[in-house]
Structure 1
């Protein structure tokens, strides 16, 4: 049996990867792990690596954060292909996808509030499972607040290139999920699916914190007749208390004053080898080494890894 963690089945010229940060603050060590893993996987395969700014959730975006992220990536030696894509400038594409789903009755309007769903069961990713209140039509006297995708019964499966097989019955475990929110903003699930398809992304390499939402994206791809990329979910970096490094857990912004040292730390986290003289190597030399020696089989096959240097 082929080891899924070391199978590069797409030819070099066909590989398209991407890194898609949300500008809610500067990049931290956990962000670097995702950026580096996705970039090295693409470059080792001889493929393209795209950069997308996922700023569709405007209330969460911090002014100036996108510029800071770009400066951090450049200081660390990242180079991306093509133009930077901004989700906030792509509303018409998301509207078009939602219209296609409406035309095939795959979505429906929903009047439910968060308070009304407060007692609903939790899905694996911590979101509330929708009980189907508006599935057969809006209650009398209520107006639509959001649009939901209609799920179907049955177990969906995919094989993650690192984490192995993942399965879920979306209708039972998640329920119909939101594509257009009550505040008029498009949900992450729709935006990311449309963007990956329209950018021709073949491989999604990202943190395992998004593993539990992947089957929703695959189901949505199927409803829109989009191809499904291959997925590889890297272990998430946590602090020593087991909390994911994030703005909420006060993760430090990346130190870009010593870029080679910062990059070396992320390579160690991903289980990748370092040259014996890496401390004396230039940033460009370290990048060339990392691309040439990238090995999926060395990545820890875990969802999370505590990292004191984070």
Structure 2
């Protein structure tokens, strides 16, 4: 069993509130095989009602958040891995423990988020059928956090994240193989900007979350830039952009939460990066940075541009039907 760990704050949790994915999209991109364990939690101690008590199918049903269903990147992530068959040598699982807010101090050694994530892994591994699985391997960390960072948590975003990986590699050893975590295998999701408004992208016609907005800046640094620089500096790390995707249109006026439709694309981008880090041939995938020309390496998540004059748009780029565009 290959277990991917998923954690972070509200966009990792999937606070889609009044803008969930449509029933048609949920059916089209429904994961069928990936195992799922969730123990999401709030700003106070304790997990939300509805936490897993056994392994189940990935679904946006539990827990409920402010009376609305949650669905984070796990849905699109699981579907995309299944569709492409990148990990046929093992059963793939996701253990998710995400928080409804808070800066990255909560993911430090004794923070609430860290302790809850480790406990969720412990509980999930206790439920593994050892007669079926001879080995449990933690394949990597999926991390979507940063909107609430302020003060020292901004310039220290990178060091605290590497600290998190190191702590997980050490503390999860009793439950499985942590060599991938020790090797810093992880995908960083781009944190959303505050107060960004949905806008129509002139190149694709897609509704996007806009690339402008408020990033908390401390000592001349923002979480987004610190984490992007970290991902680019280490071949073991992947990076999943998000800011081109539509935000929710009902439920709050914060301008920071992604819609259910966007969450499917975010999950797909996590999947492509996780597969690429595992050495799979993922092809060329548009990064979502639609403000960049198609011929720019930075316009592609893996910096691998497609063949001449061809660009394929799929679920990782948009949940709109696949399009072919001139390169």
Q: What is the TM-score of this pair, normalised by structure 2?
A: 0.28
TM-score, length basis structure 1: 0.29
| More helix as a share of residues | 1
Q: Which of these two proteins has the greater Rg computed from alpha carbons?
A: 1
